[in-house]
């Protein structure tokens, strides 16, 4: 039996499969010298010091597509291969994006409260909302999930534009400048990876360009958006609305954001359905078991080539 260090939570089904080929250790008590595999998740990652303290570590399987909580350069230098779970969650995160947009436009939380509180009976009809039809959707990061978001919006609105580092072979107009795209769209959807390359790329000028009628949807990472600038823009209504699944210091959400009525807050649940988490969990398990068998992983991170 090989030794696997389990960081973060796994399902009973994942545990059962792993236990057939690994001795599973918890972070409270593990034999550092013996650990050859780690299974972690996007929210937990692995500290560099912990990685360096595992001299025989060969592979890290990340349960999640985003791996900004793992230092890939340090792992590579140590000869460790890292995998993640791309594609199996694309459609789910796209659904979350559409849901957040609709909740912002149609004020779903306000109207739910209106119905529950009895306001309908005492005060009459709820105030009108805005139509989500015919809006221009700007996608920041037209990768796997970004494309799934475009696909989900496409039957509904023909007006999709995007900004990525590179121009893609797609029918949507490309903006090589994020401020220009923000000025041209009604809804700006952030779906890039986190990490130093995207830190605060949605800054005050981008939010200002999106404007008082604009809506920001963030399903990427909290670090992608300058959170203090976002709070100011929402407070002063220089930005209209925001739908946020991710935050700078999760699970803490600034009180200033919680106090605002022009923001919808979700606790990082972009992929969090039973079906999609099962698929992600299976891929995370398959990766680590394949590595045990032949030293390769099905979905190694692209940095490994
Ligand atoms: P991909 O790697 O397929 O796509 C990422 C896209 O971001 C690419 O189009 C890339 O552009 C673009 N990008 C990267 N850096 C920049 C930059 N500096 N400026 C502009 N564009 C940039 O990743 P996925 O679509 O699979 O996942 C995207 C991210 O979504 C994950 O890394 C994770 O952070 C987040 N996520 C969030 C979830 C949630 O629960 N809320 C669930 C799953 C993922 P290019 O192609 O030109 O390089």
Phi, psi of 24 (to 5 degrees): -95, 130
Q: Which pTM does this prediction carry?
A: 0.98
Percentage above 90 pLDDT, the chain: 98
Tokens found for residue 38: 């780690």
Contact (CB, 8 A) for 23 and 2: yes
Give the pLDDT band of residue 64 (cuts 50, 70, 90).
very high
The arithmetic mean of pLDDT across residues 211-223, rounded, is 98
Rounded alpha-carbon distances, angstroms, from residue 148 to 40, 66, 153, 252, 269: 25, 16, 9, 29, 17
Q: Do domains 2-86+274-304 and 90-265 have the same CATH topology?
A: yes
Partners of residue 3 on adjacent β-strands: 23, 35
The arithmetic mean of pLDDT across residues 53-82, rounded, is 98
221 is catalytic: yes
291 is catalytic: no
Residue with the smallest CA separation from ligand 1 atom 1 is: 143
ipTM strictly over 0.95? Answer: yes
Rounded alpha-carbon distances, angstroms, from residue 39 to 8, 59, 121, 139: 8, 9, 53, 31
Residues with CB under 6 A from ligand 1: 65-66, 86, 89, 93, 141-146, 163-166, 191-194, 197-198, 201, 219-221, 245-246, 268, 270-271
Q: Which CATH number fits domain 2-86+274-304: 3.30.70.260, 3.40.50.300, 2.40.110.10, 3.40.50.720?
A: 3.40.50.720
Centre of ligand 1 to C-alpha 145, Å, is 7
Which of these is catalytic: 25, 163, 221, 291? 221
For tokens 């973060």, name the residue. Answer: 8
Residue pLDDT, tens place only, 101-115: 999 999 999 999 999
Centre of ligand 1 to C-alpha 96, Å, is 15
Which of these is catalytic: 9, 16, 165, 250? 250
Q: Where are the domains of the chain?
A: 2-86+274-304, 90-265
Residue with the smallest CA separation from ligand 1 atom 29 is: 193
Give the pLDDT band of residue 305 (cuts 50, 70, 90).
confident
Percentage above 70 pLDDT, the chain: 100
Residue pLDDT, tens place only, 134-176: 999 999 999 999 999 999 999 998 899 999 999 999 999 999 9
The arithmetic mean of pLDDT across residues 181-195, rounded, is 98
Q: Which CATH number fits domain 90-265: 3.30.460.80, 3.40.50.720, 1.10.287.3610, 1.10.3720.10?
A: 3.40.50.720
Top mutation candidate among 43, 66, 161, 247 for ligand 1, by most atoms within 8 Å of CB: 66
Residue pLDDT, tens place only, 234-282: 999 999 999 999 999 999 999 999 999 999 999 999 999 999 999 999 9
248 is catalytic: no
Centre of ligand 1 to C-alpha 144, Å, is 8
Atom of ligand 1 nearest to the CA of 194: 34
Centre of ligand 1 to C-alpha 268, Å, is 15
Centre of ligand 1 to C-alpha 157, Å, is 22
Residue pLDDT, tens place only, 3-43: 999 998 999 999 999 999 999 999 999 999 999 999 999 99
* CA–CA gap between residue 235 and residue 233 (Å, rounded): 6
Phi, psi of 189 (to 5 degrees): -105, 120
* CA–CA gap between residue 160 and residue 191 (Å, rounded): 14
Tokens found for residue 142: 């037209």
Residue with the smallest CA separation from ligand 1 atom 12 is: 141
């Amino acid at each position: 039996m090989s030794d696997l260090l389990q960081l973060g939570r796994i399902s009973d089904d994942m545990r059962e499969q792993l236990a057939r080929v690994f001795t599973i250790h918890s972070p409270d008590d593990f034999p550092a010298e013996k650990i050859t595999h780690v299974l972690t998740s996007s929210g937990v990652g692995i500290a560099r010091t912990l990685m360096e303290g595992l001299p025989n570590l060969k592979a890290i399987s990340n349960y999640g597509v985003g791996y900004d909580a793992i230092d890939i350069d340090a792992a590579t230098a140590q000869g460790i291969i890292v995998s993640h779970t791309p594609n199996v969650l694309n459609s789910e995160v796209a659904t979350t994006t559409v849901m957040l947009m609709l909740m912002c436009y149609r004020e779903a939380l306000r109207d739910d409260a209106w119905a529950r509180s009895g306001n309908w009976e005492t005060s009459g009809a709820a105030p009108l909302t805005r139509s989500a039809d015919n809006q221009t959707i700007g996608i920041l990061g037209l990768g796997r999930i970004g494309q799934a978001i475009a696909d989900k919006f496409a039957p509904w609105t023909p007006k999709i534009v995007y900004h990525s580092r590179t121009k893609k072979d797609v029918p949507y107009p490309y903006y090589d400048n994020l401020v220009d795209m923000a000025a041209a769209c009604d809804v700006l959807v952030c779906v890039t990876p986190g990490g130093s390359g995207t830190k605060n790329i949605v800054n005050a000028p981008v939010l200002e360009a999106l404007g008082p009628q604009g809506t920001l949807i963030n399903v990427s990472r909290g670090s992608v958006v300058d959170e203090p600038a976002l709070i100011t823009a929402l407070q002063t209504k220089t930005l209209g609305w925001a739908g946020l699944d991710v935050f700078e210091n999760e699970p803490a959400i600034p009180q200033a954001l919680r106090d605002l009525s022009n923001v919808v807050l979700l606790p990082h649940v972009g992929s969090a359905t039973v079906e999609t988490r099962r698929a992600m969990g299976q891929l995370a398990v398959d990766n680590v078991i394949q590595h045990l068998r032949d030293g390769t992983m099905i979905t190694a991170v692209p940095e490994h080539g």
